[in-house]
Amino acid sequence: MKKNFVPILVSYFAIYTIWGSTYLAIRWSVESLPPFYVVGIRFFLSGLVFLLVSVASGKLKRFPSVKELLSAAFLAVFLLLCGNGFVSVGETSVDSYIAAIIISSTPFCVAFFNRVIFKEKLSATRLAGMALGLAGVAALMYDGRAARFTLSYGMLFIVVGFLSWGFGTSMSRALAVHPDNFVNSGLEWTMAGAAALVVSQFIYAPLPEVLPPVTPRSWWGLLYLTTVGASALAAYNYLLKNEPSSRIVSYAIVNPLIAVLLGILLAGEKPVPLLAVGMPVIIAGLVLMLYGDALAAAISARLGKADGKRPWTP
């Protein structure tokens, strides 16, 4: 058994359950607190803590370069301010589990942007997974009446946030970020939080007027996002150093299941008409997208070994 078996197991548990539960926490927090105030408060405080810990632990050994700061600012805008921000706006009217399922399709979006921007080739298996996953998303948006889909303003914000997150994730591979993930995350979060608080001053009432009517459930949701939600990133950073990425991305398959259970059973959210169809289709697409090539290669090698012929390669 590995010496770090326990922390790896705990880290997987964290990214599976915590990231799956943050969508319900967002839903509760935006019930009485404006969305961009939620984004601003949670990320500014979490980012500040991350930076302070980085300084105290010696991770921040030098001041970030201009390129590293610009990269962090770029990711802060597309991943957090627009990505998480628009999802938070969408959740003011869209159930948390629907948002979680759509965002779980991020691997499809990233693969698309990688193909367009970096000309990355997509195998037939991965293309099939993308098509299957997008079909599942379309099924979730079907309202069950006639031949139309439910594309409300809330759903539109979530889709835009989903595209922004996918674009930022794809572009991150070409950016010169700080070499320490903990430091880089602190920079991104602090910048995004500060930007969201500034934006909030122009679109909402001043914070002293906003805070008094905030409900206890919204406070609990914000507290959860700021503390427990932030801990999932530390767990993710740990896994990046100790586990293969092909295993880590399995969180995209588990998160929507957690979100659906919490949203429907704990929060009383109503299932959409084709939930029983759309969610399994999306998960099947994710499995095919993430692991289809490896599975096909393994099957081909086994068949080739069995009949003594050279294995077929796509």
Crossing angle, helix 35-57 and helix 5-29, to 10 degrees? Answer: 150
Tell me, yes or no, whether 201 lies in a domain: yes
Cα 290 from Cα 273, distance rounded (Å): 27
CB 8 within 8 A of CB 232: no
- 209-235 pLDDT, tens digit each: 999 999 999 999 999 999 998 888 778
Does the structure show a pLDDT above 90 at 239?
A: no
DSSP code of 84?
I
The answer as to whether 206 is a domain residue is yes
Question: Is 196 exposed, middle or buried, given 0-12, 13-18 or 19+ CB atoms closer than 10 A?
Answer: buried
Q: At what angle do helices 251-261 and 96-103 cross, to 10 degrees?
A: 170
How far apart CA 208 and CA 206 sit, in angstroms, is 6
131 is a domain residue: yes
Which tens digits make up the pLDDT trace of 147-200? 455 568 898 999 999 999 989 988 988 888 888 888 988 999 999 999 999 999
- What is the residue-averaged pLDDT of the chain? 87
Residue 314, domain member (yes or no):
no
Asked if the structure places residue 128 within a domain, the reply is yes
Q: Which residues pair with 149 in a beta bridge?
A: 142
Give the per-residue SS3 of 42-62.
HHHHHHHHHHHHHHHHCCCCC
pLDDT surpasses 70 at 67: yes
| Radius of gyration, alpha carbons of the chain | 21
Q: How do residues 130-144 score in pLDDT, each as one tens digit?
A: 889 888 888 887 766
Domain range for 247 is 5-307
Residue 312 is assigned to a structural domain of this protein? no
**Tally of structural domains, the chain:** 1
Residue 122 lies in a domain: yes
The answer to the question of residue 313 being in a domain is no
pTM: 0.87
Burial class (CB in 10 A: 0-12, 13-18, 19+), 206: exposed
